[in-house]
Every structure is written in structure tokens, then in C-alpha cells.
Chain A
Amino acid sequence: MSTLKTINVIHPSSAVNNIVNDASGNVAVGNTLAMGSSFKRNRIINGNMLIDQRNAGASVSTTAVTTTFFVDRWFANPTQTGKFTVQQNAGSVTPPTGFSYYLGAVSTSAYAVTAADYFYVSQSIEGYNFSDLGFGTASAKTITVSFVVYSSLTGTFAGSLRNYAGTRSYPFSYSIPVANTWTTISVTIPGDTSGTWVGSTNAGSAILFFSLGTGSTFSGTSGAWAAANYVSATGAVSVVGTSGATFYITGVQLEVGTKATPYEMQIYSDQLAQCQRYFAMTFSQGTAPANNTATTGALRGTARVINATSQIEPAANWRFPVTMRSSPTITLYSSGSGSTTAQWNNDGSTSYSANARSQFVSDSNADINNAGVVLTASVPWQIQATASAEL
């Protein structure tokens, strides 16, 4: 170990200092700073678990062979129903320094994982945000995944980085030595020079898994690429195997290089916009989408002659807050206080229409109208909606 004590660093041919150090630890660069990686270096969206549009902090149960989203961009699709729940800040422990939120998974039973089982939390990465890493080519770049994790259990835990097709996997393991204590983890993964990885498109390219219990069929050797569908390393702790066991995680970052840099905090509005590329809603932030819970933010349309058959129906165009990854799936919700679901609500009363629908959907906007029912003209109608373009 050696220390170089100097104030100025200058190239022999340079007229100005390349680097100037001061007594407070600051560094001034005289000209352009060229980095091996970049700012905006984290390929994980909402890695600090801040944005929770769908659930607004509520606990979410999981169902077999069903994709369920928790905080934005984070999801599971387990093999069994009801073995764990997920909630933003579950258990209300103090988050690690520098963070206010975490994703919390809690085991709801003591389930013995079978060979074909898998339980995890994960995030898919879009091709546009991953293709520059060159995976599947001879120039694939080494990456580092870092995160802060907390569990009521101790031992060797595991996860995996996998291509979207499920044909290339890199299982990794990490240790949580002390229960109920935040532990910072860093895993360096060599770039995969084999297999098929989606290029620079809006399709899914990779998935980062954190296992909560995985059977042998979907577990592989830690620290090696394999032509297989693995979501965990072999022999890892099973969180779902202990009733009430917890697994909390935040500060997830995936970046180029061999060094885990500090978590790249985002301006809130930037991070929300990143999430809205995959999920958007007319509800206010902080309101979980549901029928008959909120009028604030609702789309409003006055019934008028709207189509070729001269039906009178309400219609509104919803322009999404950002361009979405693809044309999204639209789900409708009644606003107001009635009992009807997913229908237009006559403003100021509990009179509902029927046959609300979405048409002409693109990645930028959608028409929300009504089919086949003549409604009262010149009266405001309202409806809530969500749009999902998730991977």
C-alpha cells in the first residue's frame, strides 16, 4: 500500500492541470472526464423501491403461475400460491442508511420446496437498456450487481442473472452472516459470450432474480454461466421454508465494470417516468387502482355521437405521461362510489353505464369509450384506467 501526496497532476504537454486535489478531498478535473462507465449507469429501474404505483404500500399476496407486480418493475411468478407476501417496507424496519424504502418479502408458511418449485422477486431488463453490454458476443462486458439485504435468516442466499428466453443463466450466491441486519452485497459477473441475448429493442433481454426458495431443477452451480434456466444457485437458503421468515432488499444496482459504485440516486420525477414506461395510471400517485375508490385524476368525457353507427357514448383520449415500452394493456375502473365495476360513472350520481372499453391503443395514447349503449348526452362521465406495458 502506498500513498501519493500531491496537489496537481499534469500531462507533460498540457498547459493546464489535468487534476487538482484540495485539502477537503475534492478533485477538480481540468478538462473532459472520460469514464469507463457512465452516469445513468444503473440498468435496474426503481432499485431503491421508491415507486409503488400499483399497491401504494399495501401488502400483495402471490399466486401460482401468475405474474404479480409489487413496487414498480419488481415481480414474481411462483410455482405455488400463497407461500409469501410482498410489501413496500414490510415489517417497518429502519431502512439502510441513505434509503427510505425497501421491498419486503415475508414467508406465510413453512413450505418444503420441491425440485420443480421456484419462489423469487425479480426485475426484467429491456433490450434498449442492456444491449450495449454485448452479451452473446466475444466482447461481452463484465458487470457488477450490488444491493443491500436483510433477513431473519442467516446463511448462503442466492440469485441469478438470466437471459429473457431462459436459455442462459449465471447463478450467484452471497452470505447474510447476521440476522436482522442490513448487509451490503456485491457480485461481479463476467459477460456472457455465448447464447442469444435480445439486442437493442423494446423486448426483454435479461432478468435479475433473487431467490426465496428454489428446487434443484431451477438451481445451478454458483459463479458460472450455464445453458439452462436457473433462478438460483444450488444449496441456498429457502425463505419460504420458514413461516414468518423475512427477506428485505433495496439499493439494487447493475452496472458495467468490476466495482460496485454507490447507489445511483435519481430525481423522483425521473424515476417515476422510468417506471411509467411500463405502467401508468390515471389515479393520483399514492392511490392504488381499484373500483369506486377515487374520482381524482379520472378521465372525463361528455357523451356525444362518436362512431359510424351514430351511437351516443362518452369518450376520452388518455395520453400517457411518457412513451410506453409497447402499446399497453388497458384496465378500466369505475370512479365514484357505486357498486358497478370498470364502467363509466355519470358525474354527480351513482348512475353507471355499461360496455366501457378501450380502442386505438398505441404506445402514446388510448381512446376510452363505450360500446353499444346509448347514454345521456351532454352529461359528464368519468372513468379511471391503468396501462401496463410490462415485460
Chain B
Amino acid sequence: MYTNAQYLAYNGKNDGIRCDINGVTSFVPLDPANTDYANLMALVAEGKLTIAPANP
């Protein structure tokens, strides 16, 4: 279960995603081979999750 997803950025470029995975805050890298990242992208594609933009 992925909730509260938000991009993290460094120098204006997205570097990862902070989200709660089963209620535990975790940091997911933007690596297509990472299972959590693949799951997040699948949920986004299905319209079941929105990832908030990074804080300015």
C-alpha cells in the first residue's frame, strides 16, 4: 500500500520519491528496476495514485 507520495528534488531535478509503504515512510529511488518504483508508476498509470511535486 503506497500513500502520501511526493517527489524529492535536488537542484530542481527530481531525485526520488518519499512515500508511506504500508504506513512506514520510505524513500524510493527513480530506478525502474526498483520494485517499489515500478509499483508506484503502475499505480500512477492506473490513475490510483498521484505523486505530489517536490517542494520548491
State whether A359 touches B8 (Cβ < 8 A).
yes
Contact with A357, one of B11, B18, B30, B35 (Cβ below 8 angstroms): B18
Q: Which residue of B lies closest to A201 (CB)?
A: B33
Q: Given A202-B33, A390-B35, A391-B35: A329 and B15 within 8 A (CB)?
A: no
State whether B33 touches A203 (Cβ < 8 A).
yes
Asked if A361 lies at the interface with its beta carbon under 8 angstroms from chain B, I say: yes
What residues of A have a CB within 8 angstroms of the CB of B18 in the complex?
357
State whether B8 touches A357 (Cβ < 8 A).
yes
Contact with A331, one of B11, B25, B31, B37 (Cβ below 8 angstroms): B25
Contact with B27, one of A358, A372, A390 (Cβ below 8 angstroms): A358
Asked if A325 lies at the interface with its beta carbon under 8 angstroms from chain B, I say: yes
User: Which residues 352-382 of A sit at the B interface, judged by CB distance below 8 A?
Assistant: 357-362, 371-372
Asked if B4 lies at the interface with its beta carbon under 8 angstroms from chain A, I say: no
Asked if A332 lies at the interface with its beta carbon under 8 angstroms from chain B, I say: yes
Interface extent on B, as a size class? 20 to 34
User: Which residues 300-349 of A sit at the B interface, judged by CB distance below 8 A?
Assistant: 307-308, 325-332, 342
What residues of B have a CB within 8 angstroms of the CB of A266 in the complex?
none
Q: Given A358-B16, A359-B8: A329 and B25 within 8 A (CB)?
A: no
What residues of A have a CB within 8 angstroms of the CB of B24 in the complex?
331, 342
What residues of B have a CB within 8 angstroms of the CB of A63 in the complex?
22
Asked if A273 lies at the interface with its beta carbon under 8 angstroms from chain B, I say: no
Contact with A329, one of B8, B11, B34, B55 (Cβ below 8 angstroms): B34
Asked if B26 lies at the interface with its beta carbon under 8 angstroms from chain A, I say: yes
Asked if A66 lies at the interface with its beta carbon under 8 angstroms from chain B, I say: yes
Contact with B26, one of A329, A359, A372 (Cβ below 8 angstroms): A329
User: Which residues 7-32 of B sit at the A interface, judged by CB distance below 8 A?
Assistant: 8, 10-11, 15-16, 18, 21-22, 24-31
What residues of A have a CB within 8 angstroms of the CB of B11 in the complex?
308
Asked if A226 lies at the interface with its beta carbon under 8 angstroms from chain B, I say: no
What residues of A have a CB within 8 angstroms of the CB of B25 in the complex?
331-332, 342
Q: Mostly helix, strand, loop or mixed at chain A's interface?
A: loop
State how many residues of chain A have any CB contact under 8 Å with chain B. Answer: 28
Asked if A260 lies at the interface with its beta carbon under 8 angstroms from chain B, I say: no
CA distance A332 to B26 in the complex (A): 7
State whether B33 touches A359 (Cβ < 8 A).
no
What residues of B have a CB within 8 angstroms of the CB of A361 in the complex?
16, 27, 29, 31
State whether A329 touches B36 (Cβ < 8 A).
yes
What residues of B have a CB within 8 angstroms of the CB of A66 in the complex?
1, 22
Contact with B15, one of A65, A326, A359 (Cβ below 8 angstroms): A359
Q: Kindly supply a per-residue 1/0 record for chain A positions 51-93, scoring 1 wherever the CB is within 8 Å of any chain B CB and 0 otherwise.
A: 0000000000001011000000000000000000000000000
State whether B34 touches A327 (Cβ < 8 A).
yes
Contact with B29, one of A203, A329, A331 (Cβ below 8 angstroms): A329
What residues of B have a CB within 8 angstroms of the CB of A332 in the complex?
25, 27
Q: Kindly supply a per-residue 1/0 record for chain A positions 281-311, scoring 1 wherever the CB is within 8 Å of any chain B CB and 0 otherwise.
A: 0000000000000000000000000011000
CA distance A202 to B26 in the complex (A): 22
- 14 A–B pairs (Cβ distance < 8 Å), ordered by A: A203-B33, A308-B11, A325-B33, A327-B31, A328-B29, A329-B21, A329-B26, A329-B27, A331-B21, A360-B10, A361-B31, A372-B55, A390-B35, A391-B35
A-contacting residues of B (Cβ < 8 Å)?
A: 1, 8, 10-11, 15-16, 18, 21-22, 24-31, 33-37, 55
